Chain A
Amino acid sequence: MAVGKVERSWLVAAMAVSLIYFSWWLNWDNGDNKIMYGLLFGAEVYHVLSSVLFWATIWPLASGKRKQLVLRRAMNLGQQPSIDVFITVAGEPVEVVEKTVRAARDMDYGNHKVFILNDGYVAKKDNWQDIREMARREGVGCITRLISGGAKAGNVNNGLRLTSGEYVTILDADMVPQKKYLKTLLSYFDRPKVGFVQSPQFYQNWGENEVTKGAWQQQEFFFGPIMAGKGELNSAFICGTNFLIKRQALVGVGGLNETNIAEDFVTSVKVHQAGWTSRYTTEVLAKGLAPEDLMSYYKQQLRWARGSLEVLFSQNPLFQIGLSWGQKWQYIFSALYYLNGLIVLVDIVVPLFFLMTGISPVKTSSSNFAFYFIPYMLLTFLIINSISRGRLTFRAISFSYSSWWLQIVALISVVTGKKMAFMVTPKTKQNGNYTALAYPHMAYVGLSAIGFLVAMYREGLSAGVVTNMAWVSFNIIIFGPFIKTALGLNQRAEGVLRGQTPAVAEVKNING
C-alpha cells in the first residue's frame, strides 16, 4: 500500500491554514441569511475537524518516524503458536471460496488449521452443502451453523467456541492469502500487549470496471496513509478480514460484537478498552474482490455507513472508558466520515437555494472568501496527494462524494432505530440497471438548470449568480463519474451488455 512522504512543516502549515480558514467562518458578520450561514458553519466545523484529525492521523508518518514501522517487526519466530484460520462463507460461489481455502491451507506456517465457517445453511443459500463437500475434498475443517443469529459476528463466535488456537485470523470468502500471510502478521506481535494486527484489503479485480476502480481507489487511501497512521497511534481497527488476533484478546471481550453490523469496529474499541494494543501493516498479504457492480458497492457502503453511524450515536467512542484521548478521537474520525452525507447535502443545497430564491448565506465578496478557502483546499489536496503518492483519484472522490444519499439513508435508519439486515457484499457481478442509484444526483442536475434560469430571470448574470452556478457546477462535475457509472455509460464503452434486472425494487428493499 502506498504511503508517501510529507514533511511535518507541511502539516503545521496545513493546521495554520485550516485555522485561518475557520476564522473566516467565526466572523459572524460574514453571514447574510443566518439560518443558511449557520448550516454552512456546521458543515465547515465538520470539514475543518475532519482535516485536523487527518493531519493528526498522518503526523506519525511524517519526517523520520517511518523507520519504526520496519524496526518494530522483531518477534522471535522460532516458536510457532497455533493459529486458527477462519474463512467466513455465506453463499459465495464455491469456486471463489475454493481458491481462498487452498491458499489458506498452503500458507507457509507449520501450526495452523483452516476452518470454513459456513453460514450458507442459516442464510438459506443453495450451495451450503457444496461448500461442505469442498472443505472435505480440500482437507480443511468446516463448521456449519444450524441456528442463525449475530450475522457474520455470530458465525465467527460460533467458530471460536469450537476451536482452540492461540491466535485467530479471519478471511472473507474471496480473500486469497499469500504464503507469507501468517508469518508476516505474527511478526508484529512483538510485545505481550499487542492484541491484533490488521493488514490491507487489496482488490485483485480493481481494474475490472469503473465500480471496482472507484471502490479500490477509496480503499487504497484508507488502507494506505489513514490506517498506517492509526496503526502508529495504537488506534487501528479490525476491518472484518485479513487480521490476526490473539484468541485471549477476542474472547476476553466476548468475541466479535453481535449487536452492530459494524461488528469489527465495535470489537476493536472493546479490545483497546481491555488494554490491548493494535498494529497495522501496509503490506498486502491477501487479495480479494471488489464489488463489481454499483448495487453491490451501494450495499457495502450502506452497511459500513449504518454500522459506523450506529457506533457514533449509541456507542460513541468519546464516552468509552478505557480508551486514550488519541484513540477516542481516532475512532470518532473514522465514524464521522459517514456523516459526510449530511454535510454534502448542505453544501449542494445552499447554492441551489440561492439560485432559486436569491437568499444568500454570506454577504462578503466571493473573492474575499476565496482568499481563505483556496489555500486551505489546495494545501489539503497537496498533502493528500503527497501522503498517498497520488493514489487518491478523482473517481474515488466522486464515489465518496456521491455516497451522500446512501449515507443519509443510513443516518435516517439509525436515528429512527430501523434495523438493517447484514448484507454480504456479492463476490460476483450482479447484472442490473442501476440508474435509480443516481436519481438524486440527476435530480440535482435538473434542479440546478431550473435554478439557473430562475436566477437569470430574477437578477441576470450577477456575481452572485455566477459564483453560485460555479459551486453548483463544482458539485455536478464531482457527481459526473458516479452518474456515468450508474447510467452504464462506461460499461457501454467497454462493450458490456447491461442486464435487465430492475434495481429500483432492490433499492427499496434495502431502504426497508
Chain B
Amino acid sequence: MVLGFVSGWTIFTQSIRLDESQSLWAASHTFGGVLKFIALDVHTPLYPIMLHLWLTIFGYNIIAARILSLVFLLFSLVVLWLILSENVERRLMIISFVAVTFSPFLVWYGNEARMYTLFMFFTLLNALFYLRMVSNPTEGWRKWGGWYLAAGVGGVFTHYFFWLMLGIELAYGLWRGISKKVDWRWVRNLALSQAGMLALLSPWIIFAVRQGLFENMAPSLTRPSLYGLMAGWVDYFIGYQSTQVTGTVLSLWPVAVLGVILFLTSRVKTKIKHVGFWLMWAILPWFVTFVVSFWRPVFLPRYLVFTLPAILVITSWVVIEVFRLRGRVWVLATIMIVMLGLFWRESNSETSPVVENYNQVALALNKEVRLTDKVVVSSPFTIIPLEYQFYRPNRIETIPAWNRYFPGPIPSFSMEKLASQVDDYKKTYTRLFVLLSYDQGYEAQIQDYLDHNLERLDQRDYSENMRLLVYRLRYDIDVPQLTAKKP
C-alpha cells in the first residue's frame, strides 16, 4: 500500500523525462516501426512492443506507460518473495524484502516508463527457476527447465545485459559441476538452454546488425572512472542523489569495510542457500562491465539494475549479523522510512541528477512563445520530451539540426552550422528560446556563441543541467516582455 501510494503520487506528478519520451516515441510507431526504431537503438524489442500494445489499450500517455513499469515492479516483488522464502532464513527474508521493495533506485524505475522493471522481473523469474534446479539437481530440469528457458527468453529479449545473468548462472553451474554437487548432464542442460536462448535471439541480432546496431542512437558513454563505479554502487543504496550527497556517502567506505570485517569475524547464524551464487550475482556483473568498458564503454549503473536484489540481500545479511537485527516492526519501519526519505529527495531535490523538469519548461514556453519566436533544443533528442507538453504551433528545431523522421544518425555539431542556423533565424524571428538539457559535449560552445553574438534577455535553470536561454534576434521589431514566473 505504501509503495502504491508513493508510486501513484510520483507517476501522476513527475514531469516526463528524456528517456521516457524516447520510450513513448518508440512505442508510437507501427509494430514494424517499433522493431526498426529499436534496432537502431541499443536495446532489445520486448519492452517497446509490450508498451506499444499496452498504450494501444490504455491510451497513449506517460501515466499509462509508467503504470506498466509499476505492474512489473509488483510482479518482480512477488517473485522475489518466492526466491527469498525458498533460499534464505525468515528474518533475512523479511528485512531484505523490505529493503528491496523500498529501494529508492528500484522504486524510481518502478515509476519510469522504461524497461528496467521488466528486466528485473525476468531476471528474478529466471533466478527463481535456476535456484530451484540447483537445489534439486535430479528432478530440477524436468520440473523447472521449461520455465527457466521461458524466463530466459523473456530476459534476453528485454535487455542485452541479461546475458551477464546467464553467464553467472553458467559459471556457478560449472563450479557446482567441478565440485561434484551437480552432475555434468545438469551443466550440459544449462549450457544447451542458454544456447537455445541465443538461437532464438539471433534473428533479432541479425536484423539489428543489418539496421546498423549501436551505430545511430546509442548513448555516447565514456570510460568509467573508479569513482563512477563506486558511485554507481552507492546509487543502489541511496538512489540518485546530488554529487555532494553521493560523494559524502561514498567517503564512508572505510566504515562499510569494517562492517564486512565484523560480519566475517562473527559466528554467522543466518543461512543463505547458494551464497556463492548470490555473491557472484551482486559483484561479477559490475566487475565485468567495468573491465569491458575500457575496450568499449558500456557502463551505466542502471543497466546493472538486475544485480540490485542480490546486492541488497547480501547487504541486509551483513547488517543483521553485525547489528543482530531481527525482523521487528521498528527495524522494518526504519528501513522503509529511510528508503522512502531518500526516494523523496531523489524525486524532488533541486540538486537531484535525475529530476528533469521538461513540463515546467514547456509550461513557460506555452505562456511566452509567440508565432514570431523560434524554439530550439540541444541535444537534438531532447526535442521529444519537450514536444510532449509543448502546445504552441511553433515548430521546434534542434542544434545541430536533426530530422528524426529521416533514417540515419544524428548529424554532428559544428560552429559553422550553428552560425548558419542562427543567421537563418534572424531573417524570420524576433526571439530565440534555447533549451539546453543534455550535454553531448558542445553545450558550452552553443551558449558561448549565442552570448557573444546575440543579446540575452533571460536565463532560467529548471533542474540540474536544464537551462532555458532567451535571446533577441532582431531590433527592427519590439519584443514582448517575458511574463512567466522564474522557477
Decide whether A and B are members of one complex.
Answer: yes
Interface residues of A (CB under 8 A from B): 365-368, 370-371, 373-374, 377-378, 381-382, 384-385, 390, 392-394, 396-397, 461, 463, 466-467, 470-471, 473-474, 477-478
Interface flag for B257 (CB, 8 Å): yes
CA distance A374 to B265 in the complex (A): 16
Question: Apart from A365-B226, A367-B227, A384-B264, what are 14 other A-B pairs with CB-CB below 8 Å?
Answer: A367-B230, A370-B230, A377-B261, A381-B264, A390-B265, A394-B261, A394-B265, A396-B265, A397-B265, A463-B251, A466-B248, A467-B254, A470-B254, A477-B255
Tell me whether B255 and A470 are in contact (CB under 8 A): yes
Chain A residues whose C-beta falls within 8 Å of the C-beta of B255 in the assembled complex = 470, 473-474, 477
Q: How far is the CB of B176 from chain A (nearest CB, A)?
A: 16
Query: In the complex the two chains form, is B253's CB within 8 Å of A367's CB?
Result: yes
Q: How far is the CB of A381 from chain B (nearest CB, A)?
A: 5
Please tell me if the beta carbons of B251 and A392 are within 8 angstroms of each other in the complex. no
B268 CB contacts on chain A under 8 angstroms: 390
What is the distance, in angstroms, from B163's C-beta to the closest C-beta of chain A? 25
CA–CA, A371 to B291, complex, Å?
Answer: 13
Contact: A367 with B248, CB < 8 Å?
A: no
Number of chain B residues whose Cβ lies closer than 8 Å to a Cβ of chain A = 23
Contact with A along B219-240 (1 / 0, CB 8 A): 0000000110111000000000
Contacts A394-B262, A461-B248, A466-B248 given; indicate if A378 touches B254 (C-beta within 8 A).
Answer: no
Q: Mark B237-264, 1 if CB is under 8 A from A, else 0.
A: 0000000000110111111011011101
B142 within 8 A of A: no
Once bound together, how far apart are the Cα atoms of A465 and B441, in whole Å? 33
Query: Residues of A contacting B266 with CB < 8 Å?
Result: 393-394
- Shortest Cβ distance from residue A21 to the other chain B in the assembled complex, whole angstroms: 13
Which residue of the partner chain A has the closest CB to B252?
Answer: A470
How many angstroms from the CA of A385 to the CA of B268 in the assembled complex? 11
Shortest distance from the beta carbon of B19 to any chain A beta carbon, whole Å? 26
> Which residues on A sit within 8 Å (CB–CB) of B261?
377, 381, 394, 397
Within 8 Å CB of A467, what residues of B?
251-254
Return 29 A-B CB contacts under 8 Å, by A number.
A365-B226, A366-B253, A367-B226, A367-B229, A367-B231, A367-B250, A368-B227, A370-B253, A371-B226, A374-B253, A377-B257, A377-B261, A378-B260, A381-B260, A381-B261, A381-B265, A385-B264, A390-B264, A393-B265, A394-B262, A397-B265, A461-B248, A467-B252, A467-B253, A470-B251, A473-B255, A473-B258, A474-B254, A478-B258
Given A374-B257, A474-B258, are A382 and B227 also a contact pair (CB < 8 Å)?
Answer: no
Question: What CA separation (Å) do A366 and B250 show in the bound complex?
Answer: 9
Q: Are A368 and B253 within 8 A (Cβ)?
A: no
Rounded to whole Å, the gap between the CB of A472 and the closest CB of chain B is 9
CB distance from B321 to the nearest CB of A (A): 11
Cα distance A461–B248 when bound, in Å?
8
Q: Which residues of B contact A371 (CB under 8 A)?
A: 226, 229-230
Question: How many Å lie between the Cα of A84 and that of B247 in the bound state?
Answer: 67
Give the shortest distance, in Å, between B267 (CB) and chain A (any CB).
6
Q: Which B residues are in CB contact (< 8 Å) with A466?
A: 248, 251-252
Knowing A378-B257, A467-B254 touch, does A365 contact B227 (C-beta < 8 A)?
Answer: yes
Contact residues in A for B247 (Cβ distance below 8 Å): 463
Docked pose: A470 CA to B226 CA in angstroms: 19
With CB as the reference atom, state the residue of chain A lying closest to B267: A390
Collect the chain A residues with CB atoms within 8 Å of residue B226's CB: 365, 367-368, 370-371
Closest to A377 in B: B257
| A214–chain B nearest beta-carbon distance, Å | 12
Question: How many Å from the CB of A402 to the closest CB on chain B?
Answer: 15
**Contact, CB under 8 Å: B251 / A382:** no
A-chain residues with CB within 8 Å of residue B229 when the two chains form the complex: 367, 371
**CB of B290, distance to nearest CB on chain A (Å):** 10
How far, in angstroms, from A471 to B252 measured CA to CA in the complex?
Answer: 8
- Cα of A116 to Cα of B395 in the assembled complex, Å: 105
Residues of B within 8 A of A378 (CB): 257, 260, 264
Q: Report how far A361 CA is from B258 CA in the complex, Å.
A: 21
Q: Report the nearest A residue to B251, measured CB to CB.
A: A466
Which chain A residue lies CB-closest to B227? A367
Q: Given the complex of chains A and B, what is the CA–CA distance between A478 and B254 in angstroms?
A: 12
Docked CA distance A370–B256 (Å): 11
Contacts of A365 in B (CB 8 A): 226-227
The interface residues of chain A lying within 8 Å CB-to-CB of B264 are 378, 381-382, 384-385, 390
Instruction: Sort A-B residue pairs by CB-CB distance and give the 7 closest, nearest first.
Output: A466-B251, A470-B254, A467-B251, A394-B265, A371-B226, A367-B227, A367-B230
Residues of chain B contacted by A394 (CB below 8 angstroms): 261-262, 265-266
- Scoring B250, B257, B261, B268 by chain A CB atoms within 10 A of each residue's CB, the highest score goes to B261
Bound CA span A390–B261, Å: 12
CB of A112 to closest CB in B, whole Å: 39
Assess the B251–A366 pair: CB atoms within 8 A.
Answer: yes
Greatest chain B CB density within 10 A among A366, A397, A477, A478 is at A366
How far, in Å, is A358 (CB) from chain B's closest CB? Answer: 16
Expressed in whole angstroms, the minimum distance between the Cβ of B244 and any Cβ of chain A is 9
- Distance between Cα atoms of A366 and B229 in the complex (Å): 13
Query: Which residue of the partner chain B has the closest CB to A374?
Result: B257
Q: Given the complex of chains A and B, what is the CA–CA distance between A378 and B254 in angstroms?
A: 12
CA distance A442 to B231 in the complex (A): 34
The smallest C-beta distance from B143 to any residue of chain A, in angstroms, reads: 33
